[in-house]
Amino acid sequence: MPVSGHEAILPTMEVGVSKFQAQATQEARPKGRLRPAARNCFLVIALLVFLFLVFFFFNFQQVVVVGASMEPTFEDGQRILVCKALWLVGPVKKGDVVVIRFGAPGEYLVKRVAWVEGEGVDVSIPPPDQWDFFRQGRPYVVPSGQVYVLGDNLAASEDSRSFGPVPLKDVIGKVWGSE
């Protein structure tokens, strides 16, 4: 059909359906599938949760207090969280509550650091009988790489007074929290 000056050829289009709606229905995806952006976001979150759990597993440990040696700070049966990553909480220092390896594998003691390497031990805290140098009035200085630990309840505590200073390699970590 010839086109006159006032007539124009218009593209044909279905009534009520725009060009964009028609394209969207052609690209419809199956139900139950995530969009790529949502899937990537989910994967990133899952990876972060996984990395946090791995970090937590290798750097923290839960320990149950047994006995009365740390009363009133910690009660018998109380759960405490120990940070094994000293790089995260700082080096062991005087006043820190630490968990140390003691005895068979899996056995630990919870004690407070009373003196660190190079410090003299206070002779007013009664030492065990086998520590003759205390009775002779000689000062005892904590050796390098070791700490002297005491329980908060001295009357019920087995601590450095009976087994001597503890090597830092036997310190599992610092108490970071409790229930």
Under 8 Å between Cβ of 149 and 166: yes
Three-class DSSP category at 1 = coil
Residue that has been written with the tokens 């200073």 in this structure:
165
Which residue in the list 18, 111, 144, 174 is annotated as catalytic?
Answer: 111
Between residues 30 and 63, the one the model is more confident about: 63
Domain positions in the chain: 19-58, 59-178
**Once rounded to an integer, what is the mean pLDDT over residues 4-29?**
54
Report the chain's mean pLDDT, rounded to a whole number. 81
Q: Is 69 assigned a catalytic role?
A: yes
Is pTM beyond 0.85? Reply is no
Q: Is 157 assigned a catalytic role?
A: no
At the topology level of CATH, where does 59-178 sit? Umud Fragment, subunit A (2.10.109)
User: Which residues does residue 100 pair with via DSSP β-bridges, in sequence order?
Assistant: 109, 171
Under 8 Å between Cβ of 70 and 111: yes
